[in-house]
Structure 1
């Protein structure tokens, strides 16, 4: 079908495209206020460094490089520990954390050389603040229960910043959902146009007659 013919079809059946697109747009409007900055929940990031409190386990001839390597390994171990169930259990019983606070908690971590990062995400800002404060205390005081290599004392964990809460970004899929609904309405309208044009019994143009094999003797111009 030529471009001109496609344009003619769309001009003839434009309302079939408009109706489902408008319906999808109207149905999307109530969901738009939910796409606020806080609809993605709230997040908190704790940056920390760690090292053994005692260097007696290091070789006597070790230098500063070995101390930094031990610190990097300690950060790596703690960053892995915070993703385990044992760390979550410590948060559950930590002072200040209320029952059920950690049910919706999402925990992630990362480490870059000797700096660890603990990522916390929660739907409620107040619950997350309680959890973040408790997490800082757990990091600093309970590592000896899970790492025998720290000997008699916990690792010396230093927080590089105080716990802060900020709105987490809305997930990309949730942000694009309204546009996808409108796009589906548009596609549905185009499909309706194709169906209507295919089953339309009316003969409107010279080409319609020629497609039926009927000869066209003359055409009257439009006034």
Structure 2
């Protein structure tokens, strides 16, 4: 079992980097909404590659996580703003973005430094993304919306499902991440992060399928 866990962790970067390469390849053929999620995927790929290189060089890579949480969430907020336009006020998204940015910076500077696991910001991010993904599920059940975005429905469902599965599955890991890192053995941490890697892999597979099912004729 330990060998399986080690393999999962060792090849954790492959789904992220593979999806990032595909997102870059099809970027010009994507609609507005899918281009935004492509930004998130490309950011993830860049952070994953940089983080892996720092890890092999035995350099603390937590500062990249702090950057990724803030930048990644703001991109996801733009994605959901594009999907939920006309149903949720633009001011709501601006308020969420500004509030999260301030909170994330305060957390990284005064509470959980950039050289530690920023579990607080990750938990808040996860809760907000779960709320937005549930709102999207409800919106896409509306017959009028389904007709308006018929060509994008399949892609949006896959991408939204990937985000929902990942953030709901990882919420407890984020919440207890700092505690686990400091108080439990390396073996327990390996098993925990192997599960996290599996959830992440599911998300990037959903992203890949969502981009694959993109509309072949751009409408925006």
Give the structure-2-normalised TM-score: 0.25
More strand by share: 1
Q: Quick one: higher RCO (CA 8 Å, sep 6+), 1 or 2?
A: 1
More helix by share: 2
Give the structure-1-normalised TM-score: 0.25
